[in-house]
């Protein structure tokens, strides 16, 4: 069975990624649930994981509470998946084993492979249509009420961090008997319309691009409908030709890259070419155990030093004054540095730490510039701790926690 999102009430707030809450029967829920008002990660981490992140434990300041981290891949990668398909395979297993009545996730719009459309899936075979990454956001949580109305009592949700934050704030109101949350990291998202403009700059026939990923080896990978693939070093991307407002302020300032409130986070940043899993609590262990021998795992590695790249990124962000952080590097040097970065730049967990710190720097820099009054409420303590080594400290009136 397949239920598409209805369109009740469009979002009204200026900082909003249309997570779907404003489209429920009570749009006032946004005031209680929205990540873009006064996010309280410590409280929710305590409720979901039994404790908040502990900066004394390695990597928790950066990645949130977790029990263990893994490099992982499905021994039989699934066609059409973004990486090997761990996310949708777990969702399939939840349905196959009867652990849940339905999975709430995204599928591709029938007319646009890049546009996410929320869907409630009850037949495991239908998850094949959900594989792969779409760019943009869509009102996932608008289907929570229809899920209850359809009688689903045990639900799994696959979501990006701003959706998962609102879900955790509201989960008790919806009263599911059991809720599993699989989260993916998310950063640099934009509207599907903007993303199409980016694709137009990358290829003469953008409609033939079927896959895109910003890989941890500093290259974007593109795949085409005819089976070809191509990689482009980050430094050679046509960033300078994108409009200044290409990334909305929400996605430049959100404060949870790694989806810390999920039971299990499935990403790639710390995976050195494979997937990267953060098992955050007992329910996350349960989700992972559904894969049994299908999963090959290893200990994540770490190499390089993030300090200089993060410092450089912050300087570029400040110089860009609200636009895209272009590097002040001559054109001729770019291919050389593009070749060098995967060899000498931060790799594995150090790459993931670097990306989390860059995002934290962006949050502070962009909010200060565009919505200074919101710095106080929107920047949680862990973000201040992440940016401090780079000389960004809270000023007068910028901090209430």
Residues that bind ligand SF4 (CB under 6 A): 11, 13, 16-19, 21-22, 30, 33-34, 36, 137, 160-162, 166, 186-187, 189, 250-251, 254
Check if the beta carbon of residue 62 is closer than 8 Å to that of residue 110.
no
CB of 86 to ligand FAD, least distance (A): 4
Q: Residue 281's binding partner, choosing from ligand SF4, ligand FAD, none, with beta-carbon cut-off 5 to 8 A by kind?
A: none
Query: Minimum distance between the CB of residue 13 and ligand SF4, rounded to whole angstroms?
Result: 4
Residue 11 binding result from ligand FAD, ligand SF4, none, given CB thresholds of 5 to 8 Å by partner type: ligand SF4
Name beta bridge partners: 178: 154
Contacted by 22, from ligand FAD, ligand SF4, none: CB < 5 to 8 Å by type: ligand SF4
The owner of tokens 């070809």 is 228
Question: Among residues 121 and 375, whose Cβ is nearest to ligand FAD?
Answer: 121
Per CB under 6 A, 17 contacts ligand FAD? no
Whether the Cβ atoms of residue 344 and residue 354 lie closer than 8 Å to each other: no
Residues with Cβ within 8 Å of 8's Cβ and at least 6 positions away in sequence, in order, are 23, 24, 25, 142
Other CB atoms within 10 A of residue 140 CB? 29
E strand or H helix that includes residue 278: strand 275-279
Regarding 115 and contact with ligand FAD (CB under 6 A), the answer is no
Binding characters for ligand FAD, 44-83, by CB under 6 A (x = yes): -------------------------------------xxx
Residue nearer to ligand SF4 on the CB measure, 100 or 254 = 254
Burial 98-126 (b: 16+ CB within 10 A, else e): eebbbbbbbbbbeeeebbbbbbbbeebeb
88 makes contact with ligand FAD (CB under 6 A):
yes
- Parallel/antiparallel/unpaired status of strands 295-298 and 68-74: antiparallel
Q: In this structure, are strands 112-121 and 2-4 parallel, antiparallel, or unpaired? A: antiparallel
- Does residue 133 interact with ligand FAD by CB under 6 A? yes
Chain residues 313-342 in contact with ligand FAD, contact rule CB under 6 A? none
CB 98 within 8 A of CB 392: no
Q: How far is the CB of 356 from ligand SF4 (least distance, A)?
A: 12
Distances in Å between the Cα of 198 and the Cα atoms of 17, 66, 252, 284, 324 are 19, 35, 17, 35, 13
- Binding to ligand FAD by CB under 6 A, coded x per residue (else -) over 357-396, reads ----------------------------------------
Residue 225 — φ and ψ, nearest 5°?
-60, -30
Instruction: Quote the CA–CA distance of 39 and 57 in Å, as a whole number.
Output: 22
Contact string 177-206 vs ligand FAD (x = CB under 6 A)? -------xxxx-x-----------------
Nearest distance from residue 69's CB to ligand FAD, in Å? Answer: 12
Residue number, nearest CB to ligand FAD: 267
Neighbouring residues of 225: CB distance < 8 A, sequence distance ≥ 6: 208, 209, 210
Q: Which among ligand FAD, ligand SF4, none contacts residue 81 (Cβ within 5 to 8 A by kind)?
A: ligand FAD
Whole-number CA gyration radius for the chain: 20
Total residues in contact with ligand FAD, by rule CB under 6 A: 31
CB of 81 to ligand FAD, least distance (A): 4
Choose among ligand SF4, ligand FAD, none what residue 106 binds, the Cβ cut-off being 5 to 8 Å by kind: ligand FAD
Angle at 153 (CA atoms; ends 74, 284), nearest 5 degrees = 35
CA atoms within a 13 Å half-sphere pointing along the CA-CB vector of 176: 26
**Any contact of residue 130 with ligand FAD (CB under 6 A)?**
yes
Query: What is the SS3 assignment for 396?
Result: coil
Q: What is the dihedral of CA 171, 172, 173, 179, to 10 degrees?
A: 50
134 binds, among ligand FAD, ligand SF4, none (CB under 5 to 8 A by kind): ligand FAD
Q: From the CB of 290, what's the least distance to ligand SF4, in Å?
A: 25
Give the shortest CB-12-to-ligand FAD separation in angstroms: 21
Q: Enumerate binding residues for ligand FAD (CB under 6 A).
A: 81-88, 105-106, 116, 130-136, 158-160, 184-187, 189, 266-269, 275
């Amino acid at each position: 069975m397949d239920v598409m999102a209805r369109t009740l009430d469009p979002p009204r707030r200026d900082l909003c990624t249309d997570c779907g809450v404003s489209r429920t029967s009570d749009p006032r829920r946004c005031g209680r649930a929205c990540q873009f008002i006064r996010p309280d990660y410590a409280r929710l981490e305590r409720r979901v994981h039994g404790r908040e992140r502990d900066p004394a434990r390695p990597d928790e300041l950066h990645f949130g509470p977790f029990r263990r981290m893994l490099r992982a891949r499905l021994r039989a990668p699934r066609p059409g998946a973004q990486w090997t398909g761990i996310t949708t395979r777990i969702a399939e297993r939840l349905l196959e084993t009867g652990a849940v009545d339905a999975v709430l996730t995204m599928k591709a719009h029938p007319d646009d492979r890049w546009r996410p459309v929320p869907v409630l899936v009850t037949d495991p075979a239908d998850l094949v249509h959900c594989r792969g990454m779409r760019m943009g956001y869509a009102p996932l949580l608008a289907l929570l009420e229809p899920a209850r109305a359809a009688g689903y009592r045990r639900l799994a949700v696959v979501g990006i961090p701003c959706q998962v934050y609102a879900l955790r704030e509201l989960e008790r109101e919806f009263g599911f008997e059991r809720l599993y949350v699989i989260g993916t990291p998310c950063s640099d998202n934009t509207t599907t319309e903007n993303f199409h403009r980016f694709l137009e700059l990358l290829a003469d026939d953008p409609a033939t691009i079927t896959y895109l990923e910003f890989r941890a080896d500093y290259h974007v990978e593109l795949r085409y409908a005819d089976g070809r693939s191509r990689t482009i070093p980050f430094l050679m991307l046509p960033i300078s030709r994108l409009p200044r407002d290409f990334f909305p302020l929400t996605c430049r300032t959100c404060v949870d890259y790694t989806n810390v409130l999920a039971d299990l986070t499935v990403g790639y940043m710390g995976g050195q070419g494979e997937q990267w899993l953060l098992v955050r609590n007992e329910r996350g262990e349960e989700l992972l155990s559904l894969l049994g021998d299908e999963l090959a795992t290893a200990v994540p590695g770490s190499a390089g030093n993030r300090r200089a790249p993060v410092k450089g990124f912050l300087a570029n962000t400040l110089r860009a004054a609200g636009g895209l952080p272009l590097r002040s590097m001559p054109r001729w040097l770019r291919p050389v540095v593009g070749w060098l970065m995967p060899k000498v730049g931060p790799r594995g967990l150090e790459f993931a730490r670097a990306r989390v710190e860059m995002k934290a720097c962006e949050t502070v820099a962009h909010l200060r510039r565009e919505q200074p009054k919101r710095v106080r409420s929107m920047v949680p303590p862990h973000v201040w701790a992440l940016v401090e080594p780079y000389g960004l400290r809270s000023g007068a009136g910028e901090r209430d926690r």
